[in-house]
Amino acid sequence: MDITSKNVIVLGGAGFIGSALVDELLRTDINTITVYDNFTRGVKNNLEASSKDGRVKVVNGDITDLDSLDHAIKGQDVVFHFAALWLLHCFEYPREAFEVNIGGTFNVLELCVKHEIPKLVYSSSASVYGDAMFTPMTESHPFNNKNFYGATKIAGEQMCRAFSDRYGLDYVGLRYMNVYGPRQDYEGAYTAVMMKMLDRIDEGKPLPVFGDGSQTYDFVYVNDVARANLCAAVSDSTDAFYNVGTGIGTSVKEIAEILLDLTESDVGIKYEPEGQTFVTNRIGSIDAAREHLGFTTNVNLVDGLKNLVTWRNEDKKRKMMDL
């Protein structure tokens, strides 16, 4: 699909990845972008620059509100679906996880069919795989998930397939590896390990690393993930899911060492007993995304973390000035 002069809606568009996609879309000849967000995790400041563009319309709405969502989706050419509760929130509040991630996604799919939306790009997650049974994990890796968040994403994927089979819904699903970068939440209850490490550096305390720090993940930069969504929207692929990552594994210990180096900190690392860990090994194969979507990553880990540290420092200064 050529998205030139098209109308798109980004559900969860004020969030971490969603707002990065809005920026990416504004670099194209898109007609209009509707940002639909309830601002539970999305942040209005993420849209500070993009909302000044006349093509962007911001709607305060929730995917569980069928009437509001119906009005927002009507007339769109592409729906990007990011709206969801995050992993730890789902762990603590499983009923909310069901209502938002599963019930809300059903609303999205139902309305895409009702309004004959030409393309849906659904944000899934590598959480569907659970711990790797082999690496790199291809899209045929078994669903080995054991947590509520992953369960909701599996449900979302299966509903996409069912709507495609029953109604001919044209969709592409993306399974994100560990996404990081600017606009990542560092103040909420559910912050990523990188942000917790940077907090400790600010406090002059050693970085906590659980076990021996050998837990290995595929860290992918948020702007690359945004581009993957655009690649999925314009591709001819349909009724398929693709990994979005780098195909490179990096241990938690290595992340800590890079952050210490980038911040020129000497606080060191403190190894602690292993706590609760949802997965300890997850690296994705990116061959299918490269072949079928034309997607490859542009940003390496060190440069991405450097951008993250710079953005976080600037954002903290901005918030101090706003007090």
Catalytic residues: 149
Strand partners, 243: 175
Contact indicator for 201, 260 with CB cutoff of 8 Å = yes
Strand partners, 60: 37
**Token digits of residue 223:** 């702007």
187: which DSSP letter? S
CB atoms under 10 Å from CB of 284, counted, come to 31
Contact indicator for 200, 208 with CB cutoff of 8 Å = yes
Contact indicator for 253, 212 with CB cutoff of 8 Å = yes
- Looking at residue 174, its amino acid is L
Pairwise CA distance, residues 150 & 156, whole Å: 10
CA 211 to chain centre: 27
Contact indicator for 227, 233 with CB cutoff of 8 Å = no
Pairwise CA distance, residues 189 & 91, whole Å: 13
98: which DSSP letter? I
- Give the DSSP per-residue string, 99-134: IIIIIIHHHHHHHHHHTT-SEEEEEEEGGGG-S-SS
Q: How far is CA 285 from CA 127, 129, 218, 242, in A?
A: 14, 12, 10, 9
Residue 269 backbone phi and psi in degrees, to 5: -120, 140
